[in-house]
Amino acid sequence: MKFFVDTANVDDIREINDLGLLDGVTTNPSLIMKSGRDIIEVTKEICSIVEGPVSAEVTAMEYSEMLKEAEVLAKIADNICIKLPLTLDGLKACKALTGDGHQTNVTLCFSANQALLAAKAGATFISPFIGRMDDISLEGMELIAEIRQIYDNYDFQTEILAASVRTVNHVKDAALIGADVVTAPPATLKALVKHPLTDKGLDAFMADWAKTGQSIG
């Protein structure tokens, strides 16, 4: 499974990237707003930090305007992935952009039918929002499973990017089902390493080591 971090905070991105486990970054207008920086400036810096795809989202709702914005975003860096809304215009733009060799991420997916359309449009990534489905008492993981089965049935190359991830269990469950990518906030990715028994074991080892009075090196 690939790990993307869902933020526009460059300090957080550098920290996660330095672990050697980061495969890409996703951003959106809300995350850009939280960064308090110009979209072109911050996106360019993010692209310089990571080698993998950096999703930058268009804000236009009409096909022609989406393509104009996508042209601006694509010039930022070679690893830009154009993020598009799951609308008819967005799918049309996806088809055109992937045809021109751009990476695309179709976002705000909430049904298997939507995911099927995105794959037909040639999307590089489809982003089902599992946390938001859970918020309204729907099973986000069921959606991941349905998309996985449909994509496998027809050998679609679109990658399932599990988004709106809130917990470490979301990451685990998405991996068990077979999502290709997970994007999560920095805190959630860092929390994957945590387990109380690991902490307890380390405390015991260090206490015993201190009693030996030895040092290594």
User: pLDDT-derived band of residue 40, with 50, 70 and 90 as boundaries?
Assistant: very high
60-76 confidence digits (pLDDT tens): 999 999 999 999 999 99
Catalytic residue check, 120: no
Instruction: Report the amino acid identity of residue 86.
Output: L
DSSP secondary structure code for residue 43 in this structure: H
Percent pLDDT > 70 in the chain is 100
The domain ranges of the chain are: 2-212
Q: Where are the beta strands (DSSP E) in the chain?
A: 2-6, 24-26, 54-57, 80-85, 103-109, 125-128, 159-162, 181-184
75-95 confidence digits (pLDDT tens): 999 999 999 999 999 999 999
Can you say how many angstroms the Cα of residue 33 is from the centroid of all Cα atoms in its chain?
18
Distance CA 171, CA 165 (A): 7
């010039």: which residue's tokens? 75
Indicate which residue of 34, 44, 83, 92 is catalytic. 83
Specify the CATH class of 2-212 in words: alpha beta
Q: Where does residue 166 rank: exposed (0-12), middle (13-18), buried (19+ CB within 10 A)?
A: middle
The predicted pLDDT at position 63 comes to 98
- Of 118, 86, 78, the closest CA to residue 102 belongs to 78
Distance CA 80, CA 77 (A): 6
DSSP secondary structure code for residue 161 in this structure: E
Q: Give bridge partners of residue 181 from the DSSP assignment.
A: 2, 161
Compute the CA torsion angle 44, 166, 169, 154 (nearest 10 deg): -60
Q: Do the Cβ atoms of 5 and 13 come closer than 8 Å?
A: yes
pTM for the model: 0.96
The predicted pLDDT at position 217 comes to 86
User: pLDDT-derived band of residue 203, with 50, 70 and 90 as boundaries?
Assistant: very high
Give the other-Cβ count within 10 Å of 37's Cβ: 15
The predicted pLDDT at position 177 comes to 98
